[in-house]
């Protein structure tokens, strides 16, 4: 039974912020998969990326997301979760996957220092390259898409709650 909501999208799209507010509104638990990874490995995301490389981090992220089994939870995932097909299939089975869609310019404006945020960029890859690569994957895995362009968090939460 799908009694979870899984938020996917670019870093800076508001997954964690929207997730906390949505969980409160629905009376659900809130799970941030990035925090689950950091806690398990006792490292910050950027430290894991430095230590294991981008692809190594993706393997860790896929493993951790594929093993999540909360009930009545809002799950905020890391932006690169969509590189793990096994994790995405699992998340689609246990929840409704909602893509928080944001234009590239707004993502860039919100992000600031990409390395400090734990954004997985390959050498030479720009944010625009990353965006172009990821958007089709977000769209592929999403059950629902919510356009977050220039709208308040409370309105995003209301849109998601109305989808359920």
Owning domain of residue 35: 4-163
Whose CA is closest to 25, among 162, 124, 157, 163? Answer: 157
Q: For all residues of the chain together, what is the average pLDDT?
A: 92
CATH number of the domain within which 128 lies: 3.40.50.300
User: Mind listing the pLDDT tens digit for each residue in 77-115?
Assistant: 999 999 999 999 999 999 999 999 999 999 988 887 666
pLDDT in tens, 122-137: 888 888 999 999 999 9
CA 60 – CA 107 distance, rounded (Å)? 25
123: left (phi over 0), alpha (psi -120 to 50) or beta: beta
List, for residues 11-64, the tens digit of each pLDDT value.
Answer: 889 999 999 999 999 999 999 999 999 999 999 988 999 999 989 999 999 999
The beta-strand segments (E) located in the chain are 4-8, 29-32, 73-76, 95-101, 144-147
Measured in whole angstroms, the distance separating CA 92 from the mean position of its chain's CA atoms is 13
118 pLDDT exceeds 70?
no
Q: How many structural domains compose the chain?
A: 1
């Amino acid at each position: 039974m799908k009694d979870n909501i899984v938020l996917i999208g670019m870093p800076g799209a508001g997954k964690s912020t929207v997730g906390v507010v949505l969980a409160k509104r629905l009376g659900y638990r809130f799970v941030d998969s990035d925090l689950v990874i950091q806690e398990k490995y006792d490292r910050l995301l950027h430290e894991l990326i430095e230590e294991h490389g981008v692809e190594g981090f993706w393997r860790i992220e896929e493993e951790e997301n594929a093993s999540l089994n909360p009930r009545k939870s809002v799950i905020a995932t890391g932006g690169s979760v969509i590189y793990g097909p096994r994790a995405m299939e699992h998340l689609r089975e246990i929840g409704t996957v909602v893509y928080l869609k944001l234009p590239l310019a707004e993502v860039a404006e919100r992000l600031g220092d990409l390395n400090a945020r734990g954004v997985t960029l390959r050498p030479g890859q720009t944010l625009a390259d990353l965006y172009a690569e990821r958007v089709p994957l977000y769209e592929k895995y999403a059950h629902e898409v919510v356009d977050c362009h220039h709208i308040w968090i409370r309105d995003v939460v209301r849109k998601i709650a109305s989808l359920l």
